[in-house]
Chains A and B, each alone.
Chain A
């Protein structure tokens, strides 16, 4: 990470002239690649690369008891693992603050958008399906949130729901549950007072703060600000506007795979 630390000054100086360390424009994303159904063991899966950042999402659908307050709905959980093989900064051990935050941001967008129809996961009294989304960060070069969001949405787009017969889960016999909405994430960083899209890891280290918004077509589903810096109101409105514009491209991309 020393290299990234050393890049701080360069990044800050470039930004003041509207330039970025990898030559991108202020609001440009790195190249996005989406692969769907990359695992046969999971009921849903996808791999997304965003520049050098690579995220794998696997979704398992298991038998569960519903929450007492929602007896007719399936359950949803999101976890994230920052694998030690993905970055020298990731350590072995229980989930870090960063991993927990990542999982909770993705959880909020997916839950709020109601993109998974949880009512369709009801089986019988006291029996529902649980959808367990696991985010595996394979290679970390910044902006894990947007890449994880894309991978999660791609993984649950056509989710295989197993069959439940005579007390047994039959995974070979499944129905497809289609996604109802595409909650997509857009992350920005503020460096030397300037806003950029899709920060890479060096830019994240050089940045003062981060802003993430999860968007539907004309709806905000989740927001998370991070980092010690601050945003002005107008900056936040601007970032949401940019996100809404970018969303169309993201949507086309994810649907075209």
Chain B
């Protein structure tokens, strides 16, 4: 594990040195997949990073979860159902779901992020909201708000997927009724190879990135975004890979929910 980290750091430094990149010229010269050395962090194409999910880590929130996923460190908390402020946003037929995904100023491997929402985080918050509106039984709580917060403390690729996995657990332990526990995973393409669970460099310099969230019980897709270049064939393979790996994540989510109750007594 430690050895891998050191290697990863060296690779990162290489990539991050602007001057070096300028000399090297193009992004294509960064080798992201090598049949022998595999990916830049040593993983196989179809291998997830090692991750750990901790449920109920915050005292005040109705539900919470903390996930370490490779270098990603993401905290999620759920408040509600609670009074809607401002009031005019409330819906007399169901609870409204609000999601705030945010990257901390110190979370990026590059420079400091300007604090507060930006165009990227607003869009991500919106698509994550769609995911949870699908599974939460909102009709049970008219005129209320369910707020889901996702704070990226350290981000290193696929943060919206890891954020969804954390928020799913936070919602589950909050006791808010849900029809299913969403699972998210990213797939993509680097150097012509379909891969799962992209790190930042694979997202930045790779050929395609496709975050996906699914409803495991019905195998339906709740979130799908993609940018890059994929043929139809590659798209289908990537989607199959996402579904396959989602099962591993689902198991870990359920495990974390169960184990959070053991200690509460």
Interface positions of A (Cβ within 8 A of B): 68-69, 71, 95, 97, 100-101, 103-104, 108-109, 111-113, 209, 211, 218-233, 236-237, 240, 244
Contact = CB atoms under 8 A, between A and B. Distances in A.
B231 A68 contact: no
B235 interface: yes
A40 B126 CA distance: 36
B123 A100 contact: yes
Contacts of A100: 119, 122-123
A201 B36 CA distance: 52
Contact of A69 (B21, B119, B126): B21
11 contacts: A95-B119, A112-B228, A220-B230, A220-B231, A223-B224, A225-B130, A225-B221, A230-B222, A232-B219, A232-B221, A237-B236
B231 A219 contact: yes
Contacts of B130: 209, 225-228
B52 interface: no
B50 interface: no
B229 interface: yes
Contacts of B127: 224-226
B123 A225 contact: no
Interface residues of B, number: 35
Contacts of A224: 127, 224-226
Q: Which 8 A-B pairs have the closest CB atoms?
A: A230-B220, A223-B226, A228-B133, A108-B227, A225-B224, A220-B230, A231-B221, A228-B134
Contact of B123 (A97, A229, A231): A97
A221 B226 CA distance: 7
A97 B126 contact: yes
A95 B221 CA distance: 28
A156 to B, nearest CB: 18
B230 to A, nearest CB: 5
A127 to B, nearest CB: 16
B221 A230 contact: yes
B239 interface: yes
A230 B134 contact: yes
Interface in B111-132: 119-120, 122-123, 125-127, 130
Contacts of B230: 219-220
Given A223-B224, A233-B219, A233-B221, 7 more contacts: A97-B126, A100-B123, A222-B226, A223-B225, A227-B130, A228-B130, A233-B239
A36 B73 CA distance: 48
Interface in B98-154: 119-120, 122-123, 125-127, 130, 133-134
B232 to A, nearest CB: 6
B264 interface: no
Given A104-B123, A220-B231, A240-B235, A229 B134 contact: yes
